[in-house]
Amino acid sequence: MVDTPEDKPYRTSRPIPRRRPWRRILLGGIAVIIVVPVVAVVAAVLTFNPNAYKDQITAAASQATGRQVTIAGPIAVKLSLIPTLTAQDVRIANIAGGAAPLMARISSIETRIALLPLLHHQIDIEALVLRHPTILLEKTADGRVNWLFQPTSNAAAPAAVPAPPVTVDTGHGPWQVAVHSLDITDGTVDWRDEQAGRTATVQLPKASLSAQGDATTQPEDQPLAIDADLLWQKQPIHLTAKTGPIAHLTNTADQSSWPVQLTLTAAGATLSAQGGITDPRQARGYDLTLQAQIPALDAITPLLPQGILPAGQSLPPLHGVAFGAHLTDASQGKPQLSNLSLQAQASDLSGIAPGLKLDSLSLVTAAPDQPVSVNILGDRQGLAFTLSGSIGPLPLPGAPAAPLPVDLTLNAAQSNLHAQGSIQDPWSLRGLNLALSAQIANLAFLSPLAGAPLPAFTTLNGTATLTDAAASGLAQGLALSALNLTAPQGDLEGALSIAFAPRLAIGANLRSAKLDLDQVLTATATTPAAPAAAPAPQPAAPAPATAAGPRKLIPDIALPIAALKSFDGSADLAFADLHFGGADYRALVAKASLSGGVLSLAPSSVVVPGGQLLAAGTIDTRGAVPTESFAMQAQNLAIAPLLKALQIPVAANGLVQVFANLTASGATTRQIAASVNGNFGLASVDGVIDAHALGSLIAPAIRAGGVVPAELLNAAGQVPMRCLAIRLNATNGNAAVAALLLDTPRLLVQGTGSLNFGLETLNLALTPELYLGEMAVTVPLDMGGTFADPHAGKVGKVVISQQPGQSGGSGLNGLVQSLIGGGKHAAPAVSPACTPALTLARNGQPGPAPSGSSDSGILQKPMNLFQQLLHGQ
């Protein structure tokens, strides 16, 4: 039996192959797996209405933050390869008891979400953009901060927000959220610290935070890069930083250090911080190294918080400034600085003081609670100096005020000045209390450092205490107390003060055991070496010629009216031994005050050579025309220093008794003289005057008499001045002569008349009586002219008479016989006119009577006189 093909269990020949569908099915399945979900997602996106889920979204956000989150505006979706979800007017509530109801309000939030990760239950936010956010970061008075969020359970969700719908676990696990970048545009961050009482506002024109890593790590595990443009006090600042991953911020169990590398750039300066923070959420556990490079320190003044410097002041113009410090968390986020240093390079500080230059500056301290070591090298106008020592510890800005210790020494020109003490408020220079000491080789050598010529005091040593005016700051005034100076010229102790506000006021309370004021004035007049000569000024145009008037003897000196009105002051002086004008004065006690334009000299006294002088007076500048008053009384003044002080070139010695009670008005010395009222008296007995000086005084009278040559009076030696009395009674500048008498063994002068101090004219009637041997020659004279150019003229008959008690001829023959006889005869007795004249001159005060001393006569060679009589007359 032959098997048929149908009966065979297998084919005897190769069949035609048939295409199987499994590959097509596999490809189709893959397409379904990929495309269908994508199409479903796209379809869902296209048909998704997010506003229908606004309540669920805000409820979930409120639950996640523990704060009420509100989306006041609409939510929209923009379809693209990476869909964008936007929400308008998003608000986040503040913590309970915060300064404002909202912690943040954001005009719009834009979220770009990748599609494919949604298939794996991952919300992959490619970019999160916050537009126009206003964020409040605050620390309450009880220490709570509002930037820490505490998620709440569903039960604790706010009642006003519907609970989110129940979701079914599809087996994919919980949703994972990853944010790749965060951008902020046109934002504002307000900082408020209720504990420290500080507030600040930072503008954020642009800021960007992004995760830096590759696809092998999740964004939350990648380091963060920050790049931001800030505005602080309207000053632009650029910030760049690299920190640890964001996961560290959400994992409270992670106690490792969160790395920080931060750089701030502003006004050409750069500040960097490197280190780590163990609890960045609470800003605790930081350990950072700070460094700053500042090309110009004054340029960063606008960046300082308000109140650090007084209004209108700026940081000094230091250049090449380098700052370093180590910042750590002492405890509970309180900062602790250590290893602080500030260096500066060559800087021109002429804006602070003309000609001041800095070569180098170094400030170093181990910690803010430790003193700061100071080393400064510089020069001013060519004078090199060093400033070294320590200050501090320095109080931190905003810290409770504490005195700043100071211990500094300035060395220059073989001299040193030391200051030690404290400053209560160093930022405003208030509350100074510094003990000063100085050892100065030559004060004039320090003139460049002082910026003004200084007197050439050598071997000057001193101590004092410097304080500010009523602890209100150097801008208000300063005071030197416990002042003690010693120098070869003498010693000085006491106190000085100057106040600048509300009105300039200067005070002095000085005492001295011994002071040579002549030497002081000599040293003051010594001019130190001048700096480089300035270009010679061009000669001024000649003043227009004016008609020359009569020569004046009284100088026309203007009173310092403007200066007297510009400040107040007081001076209390007590000098035990004062040398001035070649004379010694003892027990000088004077008290003067200047207030509101009124200068007053209280009754003051000084023991002068021969006696005591009392004086008082005022200058009142408050009216349209200043008024003056002066009163003086002196029992015995030395004539020689008085004549020198008045610049009268007459050699005389002895004691003079003076009184004055005068008033006047005027702004210059000539106006004062032209308006003087009151009385003046001068009396002296038993003095001496140089014979040449006496001869020059009476020569006009002798020439006017025409009896004997005036040249005969040029004998050398001294003439006793037995009695001198002058009394003037002035009214509006015209002084009536109540007493005018000079009695010497050679001459008796009496006179009446008046003096006009305004016109400086004389109108005197004199009766000089010249004693020649046994004879007396009386010549009535009229003395006119001016103080500077007096003229004498004979107005009566010359009388030649015999002196009382003498015997011989009379008239001209008797005079000739007397002169031939030798001219050396007993001088006449003291004139009886002396007593009443002295009484008037002393204003009724007691005084000594003349002793009646005499000399050997006026003529040394009578034969020469006889020859001159024969040939000269």
Map 405-423 to HEC letters: EEEEEEEECCEEEEEEEEE
Residue 238's pLDDT is what? 95
Looking at 91-105, 616-630, 807-821, which range is the least confident one? 807-821
Looking at 5-9, 174-178, 318-322, which range is the least confident one? 5-9
User: Do residues 369 and 336 make contact, with C-beta atoms less than 8 angstroms apart?
Assistant: no
Q: Which of 303, 393, 296 is nearest to 349 (CA)?
A: 296
**What is the average pLDDT across 112-122?**
71
| Higher-confidence position of 127 and 669 | 669
As a whole number of angstroms, the distance between CA 637 and CA 728 comes to 19
Give the confidence band of 196 by pLDDT, cuts at 50, 70, 90. confident
**Residue 829 predicted with pLDDT over 90:** no
**Residue 512 predicted with pLDDT over 90:** yes
| Higher-confidence position of 301 and 502 | 301
- 3-class secondary-structure state, position 84: strand
CA-CA distances (angstroms) from residue 229 to 206, 244, 297, 303, 565?
5, 21, 22, 15, 56
Residue 10's pLDDT is what? 40
**What is the average pLDDT across 757-770?**
90
As a whole number of angstroms, the distance between CA 451 and CA 382 comes to 11
As a whole number of angstroms, the distance between CA 524 and CA 517 comes to 10
CB atoms within 10 A of CB 480: 17
Contacts of 666 (CB under 8 A, 6+ apart): 625, 626, 628, 672, 674, 675
**What is the average pLDDT across 514-518?**
92
Torsion angle of C-alpha atoms 566, 569, 574, 578, degrees rounded to 10: -10
| Higher-confidence position of 375 and 790 | 375
Residue 156's pLDDT is what? 44
Most confident range, picked from 279-283, 552-556, 650-654: 552-556
- Within 13 Å, how many C-alpha atoms sit on residue 12's CB side? 6
| Higher-confidence position of 252 and 262 | 262
**Residue 285 predicted with pLDDT over 90:** no
Residue 199's pLDDT is what? 85
CB atoms within 10 A of CB 50: 16
**What is the average pLDDT across 309-321?**
85
Q: Spell out where 212-318 has E strands.
A: 223-232, 235-245, 258-266, 269-279, 284-296
Contacts of 706 (CB under 8 A, 6+ apart): 794, 798, 873
Most confident range, picked from 164-173, 245-254, 339-348: 339-348
**Residue 30 predicted with pLDDT over 50:** no
Contacts of 625 (CB under 8 A, 6+ apart): 665, 666, 667
Tokens of 285: 């556990």
Percentage of the chain modeled with pLDDT above 90: 40
**Residue 755 predicted with pLDDT over 90:** yes
Residue 468's pLDDT is what? 86
Residue 119's pLDDT is what? 65
**Residue 865 predicted with pLDDT over 70:** no
| Whole-prediction pTM | 0.61
**Residue 594 predicted with pLDDT over 90:** yes
User: Do residues 762 and 755 make contact, with C-beta atoms less than 8 angstroms apart?
Assistant: yes
CA-CA distances (angstroms) from residue 777 to 712, 722, 723?
14, 19, 19
Residue 29's pLDDT is what? 45
**Residue 839 predicted with pLDDT over 90:** yes
**Residue 513 predicted with pLDDT over 90:** yes
Looking at 159-168, 484-493, 765-774, 852-861, which range is the least confident one? 159-168
Looking at 47-61, 428-442, 671-685, which range is the least confident one? 47-61
As a whole number of angstroms, the distance between CA 102 and CA 89 comes to 12
**Residue 252 predicted with pLDDT over 70:** no
**Residue 679 predicted with pLDDT over 90:** yes
**What is the average pLDDT across 218-234?**
84
Residue 452's pLDDT is what? 87
Residue 343's pLDDT is what? 95
- 3-class secondary-structure state, position 27: helix
Domain locations in the chain as residue ranges: 39-149+175-211, 346-525, 676-872
As a whole number of angstroms, the distance between CA 448 and CA 451 comes to 5
**What is the average pLDDT across 32-40?**
50
As a whole number of angstroms, the distance between CA 153 and CA 63 comes to 7
**Residue 439 predicted with pLDDT over 90:** yes
Which parts of 427-568 fold into alpha helices (H)? 447-450, 517-525, 561-566
User: Interior CA angle at 394 toward 393 and 395, to 5°?
Assistant: 115
Looking at 353-362, 388-397, 539-548, which range is the least confident one? 539-548
Q: Any long-range contacts for 234-237 (C-beta under 8 Å, 24+ apart)? A: 234/302, 235/266, 235/267, 235/302, 235/303, 236/266, 237/264, 237/265, 237/266, 237/303
Percentage of the chain modeled with pLDDT above 70: 74
Residue 13's pLDDT is what? 46
Q: Which residue has the tokens 């960097």?
A: 272
**Residue 827 predicted with pLDDT over 70:** no
**Residue 160 predicted with pLDDT over 70:** no
Tokens of 770: 């010249």
